[in-house]
Amino acid sequence: MSYKIFCLLVIAFLLISVVPVIAPPGPQPSSPSGPTGSSSSSSSRLPDLDSFIIQVQSWKDYQKDKFEVLQKMLYKPAYTSVNYTTPDVWLNWTSNRTINRTDSIKIEAIIQDLNPKEIRRAQYLTLEIQEPGESKFKPVANAAVQIIQKNDYIADGNTTRRVFPEVNSLRFLKRVGEVKFRVSWTDGEYPLNSSREGEYSGLGYHYFPVLVLKVKNIPPRINNSTMNVYPNPARWDGFMTYSASFEKRGQVQSASHDGNGEEEINTTIHVYDEISTTEIFTQTERFRGNDVVIFSTRNQKIFNENDAGKNFTYRFSCTDNIKGGPNTTWSELKPGPSLKRSAKIIVAQPSGQDAEDQNNYWWHKYHFSVNVKAKDPDIKDVQVTLRTNTPDHPGQIVASPNNPLKLAVTADDYTTFEFKDVTPFNVLDCGKNYSYYFEYNVEDEMGNRTTDLINGGMINGRVLYYTFISFEVVGNLLALLIASLLIGVLLERSIFRKGGV
Amino acid sequence: MSLAIIALIVLIGMAVGGAYLHKNNMDNIYQKVMDRIPKSSNNDKDHAIDMKKDLMTMMFTHQGPNFNALVISAWLLFIVAAFFSFLLTPQLSEGLVYLKIPELARFSLGPMLFALIPLIFGIIFVVGLRVPRVYGYYIIPIQLKKAMMATWLLPFAAMIIPVYLATIFPYPNSKSFLINISFILLAFSLFMLLSPIFFEAKGTKP
């Protein structure tokens, strides 16, 4: 019993003696008297410093192995900022280094900092560009400064990557050619840039101290299949629009450098004469790449009265004004517009109908008429031609001594051109729809020389004009019967009588 | 196959069959006669041909001018009626018909002009094949002769039907059966005109 009590006392003593060793350095709550932790503490359970030193000295002298283990456990190596080394930065690029200006790109930096975590510093990265024809680097205007914090390092603990997300294409370039990128950075003390480094491929990627890209331009191009002029034909003073759309360029269709989406394209409409030798009109406007190109005569007069009746051709040209490469394209030449002739006459009330009844038999006589008045005082007479239209006889001139009909016209009153008792159809038109129109030798108000097709209805399907009980049928049948009998008698008498042949 | 094509095949078959049976009839008669004559040393080929000609001459019996004239007329009317039945309205073809020829359809005597074609063809047929002479080789009983002399009524009736249909063309489906009556009348009239040949071939007396 007394042995057990003795052992407990020894263990208690040892525990009490170890506490000051593992306690954090510095003043202890229980020792407000200062770092010396001087004695006299009647309330403290800790041994005084002298005792502890004696104790440690005794461990050092007599328990060397354990003392060394304890010493290693408590050792913390000293560090200093004197050996701080500046980090390295490269640019990562894994794609083809020849790209189009509008291609989508991703520029990424890799940062390697070999300093201990304790002395690492935040890095402030700025992407710089040397544009074609320039001799100095400058910060990319819309690229924000990227900050690498001390705890951003990944992989082996010394490297990290950072993308410059704002730079997703090189649309902002106004000149194409060789473009150089580098990263300038600072840790607050040293201003540095990546171009001081050598190439690095430590992680299996290509990292460049200076990234050199060969940038080409795809000039804007009009989609030929979308070109259109409307209306066509048109009056010389009518409202016309030329329209087209651009072909899609590159992969990035938005978020251009200026933040306005597609960049602006100078587009010009060129109007030529019919054989495309003389340019009679040009006009340039600015459009964005996803706009519909529209030029109209709303605010711009293109043609004059002398152009009435003529045909024209047109095409577009467009440019993005990017220097250092091709920047202008031309669309194909297309015909249009065809301008209607100026109105010389006014045409009204074209009509046509069965003149005998409403049955529309093909053998019936028909009556057609149209009213014409001069609009141009110089027009003294007009020639009008009547045409009918059936599936078997399209655009047929109606046979009549009065067709075409030429009459004098005045500007005061209408003159009626009448085609009376004409028989425009034949048996092949039975059961089919017919239409008709009038043709004249000068232009009407619409600039046309014909009226529109006017539907006349269906021609009756009945074929023969005579009925079964009629002189024609009875006469024909009797004639055939008599003819057959007579021929029989004649042949018998002349050839077969008395044996004949 | 439309009824018009079937009718055409039947009529052509009857005509070809009649021609074949007529030749067969003549050969049979000649053979029967030759069987009764003892063979002589002059029985060579030229002699046989002469014999046949002589026999045909001896067999020939004139059927009378009225019979010949009416049978010729009946044949002509039959050919015209057949022409009308198939070609006046669209039966065999939609295009090659009388009603599609504007000049004929517009003209009052259009059917008569249209019939000139089969009439000319009929005259060539009657004269070329010596149709009345063919009847001279057959013994035609008086009753059959009378019936044949009245045969022209059949093709004439057959001719009236397509003319009627043409005057109401496009005719309703309910009247399309009329043209079949015309075909039947044509077949019957052809049978009547060839009846002496058929009866002789069958070996029966009408």
d(CA A341, CA A310): 8
Tell me the mean pLDDT in the region A115-119.
82
d(CA A494, CA A423): 47
pLDDT at B99: 78
Residue B130 touches partner A, C-beta closer than 8 Å: yes
Residue B69 touches partner A, C-beta closer than 8 Å: yes
Crossing angle between the packed helical segments B3-36 and B45-59, to the nearest 10 degrees: 110
pLDDT at A409: 92
A463 chain-B contacts, CB cut-off 8 A: 99, 105, 166, 169-170
**pLDDT of A85 higher than 90:** no
A363 chain-B contacts, CB cut-off 8 A: 106
- Tokens 């082996």: give the residue: A156
pLDDT at A50: 86
Higher pLDDT, A328 or B1: A328
Higher pLDDT, B180 or A188: B180
B109 chain-A contacts, CB cut-off 8 A: 472, 475-476, 479
Most confident of A74-88, A261-275, A391-405: A391-405
ipTM of the complex: 0.88
Q: What is the DSSP pairing of strand A98-100 with strand A211-216?
A: parallel
User: Per-residue pLDDT tens for A307-328?
Assistant: 888 999 999 999 999 999 889 9
Chain A interface with B: residues with Cβ < 8 Å: 363, 426-428, 430-431, 461-468, 470, 472-473, 475-477, 479-481, 483-485, 487-489, 491-493, 495-501
How would you label A443-464 residue by residue, b for 16+ Cβ within 10 Å and e otherwise? bbeebbbebeebebeebbebbb
pLDDT at A102: 85
pLDDT at A6: 54
Higher pLDDT, A241 or A151: A241
Tell me the mean pLDDT in the region B111-118.
91
**pLDDT of A19 higher than 80:** no
pLDDT at B193: 95
pLDDT at A82: 58
Mean pLDDT, chain A, whole residue set: 83
d(CA A181, CA A127): 7
**pLDDT of B154 higher than 90:** yes
pLDDT at A341: 80
Higher pLDDT, A410 or B103: A410
Q: Distance, in angstroms, between B156 CA and closest chain A CA?
A: 7
Tell me the mean pLDDT in the region A464-479.
91
Question: Cβ contact (<8 Å) for A426 and B102?
Answer: yes
Q: In which band, very low, low, confident or very high, does the pLDDT at A37 lie, cut at 50, 70 and 90? A: very low
User: Per-residue pLDDT tens for B44-53?
Assistant: 666 667 777 7
Q: Which of A429, A452, A453 has its CA nearest to residue A360?
A: A429
pLDDT at B181: 95
Instruction: Count chain A–chain B contacts defined by CB atoms under 8 A.
Output: 123
pLDDT at B205: 55
Question: Cβ contact (<8 Å) for A462 and B126?
Answer: no
Tell me the mean pLDDT in the region B111-139.
91
pLDDT at A24: 42
**Alpha carbons within 13 A on the beta-carbon side of B57:** 7
Q: In which band, very low, low, confident or very high, does the pLDDT at A343 lie, cut at 50, 70 and 90? A: confident
**pLDDT of A130 higher than 90:** yes
**pLDDT of A334 higher than 90:** yes
Higher pLDDT, B38 or A152: A152
Q: In which band, very low, low, confident or very high, does the pLDDT at A305 lie, cut at 50, 70 and 90? A: confident
User: Per-residue pLDDT tens for A397-431?
Assistant: 999 998 999 999 998 899 999 999 999 998 888 88
Q: Which of A449, A427, A447 has its CA nearest to residue A438?
A: A449
Minimum mean pLDDT range among A349-353, A466-470, B103-107? B103-107
Minimum mean pLDDT range among A119-128, A197-206, B23-32, B161-170? A197-206
**pLDDT of A32 higher than 50:** no
User: Per-residue pLDDT tens for A435-447?
Assistant: 999 999 998 888 8
Q: Distance, in angstroms, between A296 CA and closest chain B CA?
A: 54
Question: Cβ contact (<8 Å) for B65 and A492?
Answer: yes
pLDDT at B85: 93
User: Per-residue pLDDT tens for A344-358?
Assistant: 899 999 999 999 988
Tell me the mean pLDDT in the region B149-171.
92
Q: In which band, very low, low, confident or very high, does the pLDDT at A84 lie, cut at 50, 70 and 90? A: confident
Q: In which band, very low, low, confident or very high, does the pLDDT at A92 lie, cut at 50, 70 and 90? A: confident
Tell me the mean pLDDT in the region B29-34.
82
User: Per-residue pLDDT tens for A235-264?
Assistant: 888 899 999 999 886 544 443 444 445 678
B166 chain-A contacts, CB cut-off 8 A: 463-464
**pLDDT of A30 higher than 50:** no
User: Per-residue pLDDT tens for A351-398?
Assistant: 999 999 889 998 899 999 999 999 888 888 999 999 999 998 899 999
**C-alpha distance from residue A287 to each of A271, A341, A385, B114, B200 (Å):** 19, 34, 50, 74, 101
**Segment holding A487, helix H or strand E:** helix A471-491
How would you label A309-337 residue by residue, b for 16+ Cβ within 10 Å and e otherwise? eeebbbbbbbbbebebeebebebeebebb
Question: Cβ contact (<8 Å) for B119 and A484?
Answer: yes
